[in-house]
Amino acid sequence: MEKKAPLPLRWLRAFWYLLTAVRNVVFNLLFLLLLLGALLLWLYSPQDQYPQGAALMFNPDGDIVEQHSEPFLTDTISGRSVSQETLLRDVIDVIDHAAADPKIDAMVLDPKQLGAVGISKLRDIGAALLRFRDTGKPIIAYADAYNQSQYLLAVHANRVYVNPMGHVWLDGFGIYRQYLKNALEKLSIQFHVFRVGKFKSAMEPFLRNDMSADAKEANLTYLNVIWQAYKNDVASLREFDAVDVDTYVNGFADLLAQHDGDAAVLALNFGLVDGLKTRDAFRNDMIERVGKDKDDKTFKQVGFNRYMQMIRPELEEKAAGRSRVGIIVARGIIMDGKQPPGRIGSDSLSALIRQARQNEAIKSLVLRIDSGGGSAIASEIIRQEIELTRAAGKPVVVSMGSVAASGGYWIAVGADEIWATPTTVTGSIGIFAAFPTFDQSLQSLGINSDGVGTTRLAGAFDPARPLNPLMAGAIEHTIRRGYRRFISRVSEERNLPSETVEKIAQGRIWSGENALAIGLVDHLGGLDEAIEAAARRVDLDEYGIEYIETPLSTRQLLLHRLLRFFSVSTAPPAMLPGTLPALYEHVVENDLTLLLRSNELHSPLAYCFSCGLLQ
C-alpha cells in the first residue's frame, strides 16, 4: 500500500497545481488580448476617428521646444520637469496638415496650456496660422485670459474672444537677474572669473551687485528689436498703430481706472479682442458654426495631440524612398562628450552629423541651433565635424531658433549659409572661465587645508585651497588664445576683416535683424526657408525631410517616465515665499547649470547666460 504524503505537503501540492492553472489562464487571456489589440490596430483607420466638418482644437500643452529634453533629478526636485513639452515641428505640421484636410472646417485657438516659448518660435507658429487662414478656414481664439505669449498667437485668429472676467496682460520684455556679490562676500566665497570682451557679462551676477552700463546697453538694444517686432505683429494683425501697444502697457493702471477696473472691457474697447464671451456662450457659438459632437455635449472637434498621432504615419511616409534634406536639432547647453536630448554633446552631436554625412539618401543638411553656447572646446569639435561634412560635398545650412549665441554661434560659422529670424538672439562672441574657491568659508568654520605636492601646480583645482597664481596665469593665457581663435574663425568663415569682427564681438549680443546688417548671418527667415536653401544647393526640386536623432535607450525612456511621474508629486519651489523661486530659476538653473554640471570648470566657456532668459 502506497504511503500517503503528509497533509501539509498535500496542501502545498494542491496549492501549486491551482497556482499553475490560474497562471495558465491569466497568461492565455493576456495573449488573447494582445492578439485582439494587434487586430484592432491593423483594422484601425485614423481618418475615421473624427467627424466631417470638425474644428481642430489648437491647444498644445507645455513649453514649445525644438527638441524634447531628459530632465535632471534636480529639475524634478525644483518642479521644472512638471511642465510638458511640445515640439515646434509638431505644432507646425499639425497646422499645415489641417489646412489641407477636407474634414477640418475651422480651428479653435485655445492657449491656456501653453508654457514657455520664445518669440521666434511664436512667429514661426504665427506664419503657419496665417497659411491656415489663407485657405479660407476661420481661426477663432478663446481664453479666460491671455498672457503676452498667448496673445501673440491669438492675434492671428479671425476673431479673438476673452471671458468677461478675463484680461489681456502685456508687459514687454526685460532681463532682470539676481546679483550675489554681497552674499558671496558674507559667505567668504571667492569667484575667480577670467573673461575677454567688453560686453561679456555672463558672470556679472557673481562679481557685482547690479548690471553694468555696458550690459544694460547691449541687452536693451536687442530687447528693443524684439519688442518692436512683437508690437508690429500685434498692430498689423489687429489693425492699429504699434505705438498703441506701448500706450496700453505703460498706461495700463490709468486705463483700468477709466474702465472701473474692468480689464476685459478695457481689452475690448482698446481693440485687443473682438468680444467677451463666457465658456458656455463660446461653446454654443461653435456648435452653431460646426455642429454638435456625437454625444450632443459640445461642438465637433479633434484635439491637438490626438490629431498629431493620426497624421504622424502620413508625415513619416512622405520622407520614405526619396532624396532627403536632413535636419539635426542642437538644443541646450554645449558640453563635452555624449549628452542626452536637451543638451548638446560634442560627441553625440558630431556622431549625428557624421551619420548624415554617411547617409547617401541625405543630400544636404540643416542644423537647427537653439543654444546660448557652452564649452568652447566642444563647440570647436562640432564645427570641425561640419567642416568635414562640407568637404565631403554635402552642404550644411544653419537655421537659428530663438537663440544661437556664443558657442552656438561658434558652431554656426562652420556652415555654408546661416539663416536667422529677425528676433533671434545671436553673437555674444567672447570667452570666459570661472573657478570658485571656498578656503575662506572653510576657515571661518575652523576647517583648514594643508598638504604637499610634487609641483607648484599640484592641487591647483582644489576649491578648498586659495587660487593658485600659476593656474590663474595659465587660464588667462588660454582665455585670450580662445578669444583670438573665435575671432579668427568668424573672420575666415564670414569673410570679414579681423578688425571688423573685433568691433562687433566683445561678447556683445545682437538680434537677428542687426546680425544681418553687420554680416554675422546671411538671410532672415525660419526653418522652412533654411530647408529650401539646403535643397537648392543640391538642385532638389522634390525631396523629403528626415530628422536625424539619437533614439532614447530603454533605460532613458524608463528614467524619463519615472522622473515625469515623480515631478508631479513634488512641490515646486513656487511654493516657497518671496523671490526664492526666481532666485532658483535665474541663478541656479541659468547661471550655475553649466558651471556645476560640466566637468570643465577650468576650461574656456563660450556661453551667454542672459540669452537663456529669452528662449
Q: Catalytic amino acids?
A: 200, 406
Measured between alpha carbons, how far is 121 from 117 in angstroms, rounded to an integer?
Answer: 7
Measured between alpha carbons, how far is 416 from 412 in angstroms, rounded to an integer?
Answer: 9
Report the 3 state secondary structure along 310-356: HHHHHHHHHHCCCCEEEEEEEECCEECCCCCCCCEEHHHHHHHHHHH
DSSP string, 69-133: -PPPHHHHHHTGGGS-EEEHHHHHHHHHHHHH-TTEEEEEE--TTB----HHHHHHHHHHHHHHH
| Cell matching residue 518 | 553687420
Q: Buried (b) or exposed (e) across 514-540, using 16+ Cβ within 10 A?
A: bbbeeebbbebbbbbebbbbbbebeeb
Measured between alpha carbons, how far is 291 from 282 in angstroms, rounded to an integer?
Answer: 13
Exposed/middle/buried for 561, CB within 10 Å: 0-12, 13-18, 19+?
exposed
Q: Where are the strands (E) in 197-264, listed by range?
A: none
Q: What is the dihedral of CA 465, 471, 473, 478, to 10 degrees?
A: -130
Which residues, at least 6 apart from 547, have a Cβ–Cβ distance to it below 8 Å? 89, 326, 327, 328, 329
Query: In angstroms, how far apart are the furthest CA atoms of the chain?
Result: 109
Task: State residue 542 phi and psi, 5-degree precision.
Answer: -120, 130
Q: Hunting for cell 572661465 — which residue is that?
A: 433
Q: Hunting for cell 558630431 — which residue is that?
A: 350
| Cell matching residue 180 | 550675489
